[in-house]
A and B are shown apart, each in its own frame.
Chain A
Amino acid sequence: QQQVKQSPQSLIVQKGGISIINCAYENTAFDYFPWYQQFPGKGPALLIAIRPDVSEKKEGRFTISFNKSAKQFSLHIMDSQPGDSATYFCAAYNTDKLIFGTGTRLQVFP
């Protein structure tokens, strides 16, 4: 019940395309859902986050869609760029810790 399931494991997108990464959770006590971006050799960095009282949040090219009844949330990267190539982790907050998904390696080709 503490798990966050993430898919796909890897994603290849053409420059300018839309990248979509999906996550699902079981624990209804989760109340904060961030997405982290990680470049090789670096720590995860917060990209965008949402709370369950909102169904969508957009920041620039990045959008989180949140479906509370289905217990699912997704990250959409519009107009994907080669610089977006990284590993993306969804996460869910419970008490004082983040539960991370298994990660999606995104490659954006020019």
Chain B
Amino acid sequence: EPEVTQTPSHQVTQMGQEVILRCVPISNHLYFYWYRQILGQKVEFLVSFYNNEISEKSEIFDDQFSVERPDGSNFTLKIRSTKLEDSAMYFCASSELAQASGGELFFGEGSRLTVL
């Protein structure tokens, strides 16, 4: 069964360092998302991406965050200068159709980011 894959599974970094989280969405999917989950809390939307541009972003997704689809298969989330409060599980998700059209969202297993 096709799946969304994410790397790394766990990354530990020092505050102020740049981090890149990588995702390989399901191959025929066109809509891409990043969500995050702080330990024990709810899953929060960060950003949606379609047709090589951001379609929507949350207030969490400030200037230190960026997303890119550099080569047609990978979808990356960059955090420019990490803060302690960025420690969370980051989930990549993809869907074949827009959710407004009934597209099912498939999540990866997540990348745990720990900022020291």
Contact = CB atoms under 8 A, between A and B. Distances in A.
Interface of A: 31-32, 34, 36, 41-46, 49, 89, 93, 95-103
A98 B105 contact: yes
Contact of B107 (A45, A93, A103): A45
B108 A89 contact: no
Contact of B56 (A36, A45, A96): A96
B42 A93 contact: no
Interface stretch (B43-51, B62-70, B78-86): B43-51
B99 A93 contact: yes
A96 B107 contact: no
A44 B91 contact: yes
28 contacts: A31-B100, A32-B100, A34-B105, A36-B43, A41-B109, A42-B110, A43-B91, A43-B93, A43-B108, A43-B110, A44-B43, A45-B107, A46-B104, A49-B104, A89-B43, A95-B56, A96-B31, A96-B55, A96-B98, A96-B99, A97-B33, A97-B45, A97-B56, A98-B35, A100-B44, A102-B41, A102-B42, A103-B41
Interface of B: 4, 31, 33, 35, 41-45, 48, 50, 55-56, 58, 91, 93, 98-100, 102, 104-110
Nearest to A51: B102
A27 to B, nearest CB: 14
| Residue with the greatest number of chain B CB neighbours at <10 A, chosen from A36, A46, A49, A98 | A98
Contacts of A46: 104-106
Given A89-B43, A95-B56, A97-B58, A43 B107 contact: yes
Contacts of A31: 100
A95 B55 CA distance: 10
A96 B104 contact: no
A32 B105 contact: no
Contacts of B31: 96
Contacts of B58: 97
Contacts of A49: 104
Contacts of B108: 43
